[in-house]
Amino acid sequence: MSSPPVAIVTGASRGIGRAIAGQLAADGYAVVVNYLRNHDAAEQVVREIQQAGGSALAAAGNVGAAADRQRLIDTTLDRWHRLDVLVNNAGITSQGRRDLLEATEESWDLVFDTNLKGPFFLCQLAARKMIELIAAGVTSRGTLINISSISAYAASTNRADYCMAKAALQMMTWLLADRLAEQRIWVYEVCPGVIASDMTAPVREKYDRLIAEGLSPIRRWGQPEDVARAVSMLAAGSLSFSTGERLNVDGGFHIRRL
Dihedral sign computed on CA atoms, order 55, 60, 64, 67: negative
For the chain, give the mean pLDDT. 96
Question: pLDDT tens for residues 34-88?
Answer: 999 999 999 999 999 999 999 999 999 999 999 999 999 999 999 999 999 999 9
Q: What is the pLDDT of residue 29?
A: 98
User: Does the active-site annotation cover 162?
Assistant: yes
Q: What is the pLDDT of residue 144?
A: 99
**Is the per-residue pLDDT at 89 higher than 60?**
yes
Record the pTM. Answer: 0.96
Stronger pLDDT, 8 or 203, i.e. the higher one: 8
Tell me the sheet residues that pair with 8.
Answer: 32, 86
**Is the per-residue pLDDT at 232 higher than 80?**
yes
**Is the per-residue pLDDT at 90 higher than 70?**
yes
Average pLDDT over residues 101-113: 97
Cα–Cα dist 55/158, whole Å: 41
Question: pLDDT tens for residues 157-216?
Answer: 999 999 999 999 999 999 999 999 999 999 999 999 999 987 777 778 899 999 999 999
Which ranges of the chain would DSSP assign to H, the alpha helix? 15-26, 39-51, 66-80, 105-112, 118-135, 160-180, 204-212, 224-235
**Is the per-residue pLDDT at 1 higher than 70?**
no
Q: What is the pLDDT of residue 199?
A: 73
Query: Any residues with CB less than 8 A from the CB of 51 and at least 6 apart, and which?
Result: none
> Per the residue annotation, which of 29, 35, 153, 162 is the catalytic one?
162
Residue ranges and CATH numbers for the domains of the chain are 6-248 (3.40.50.720)
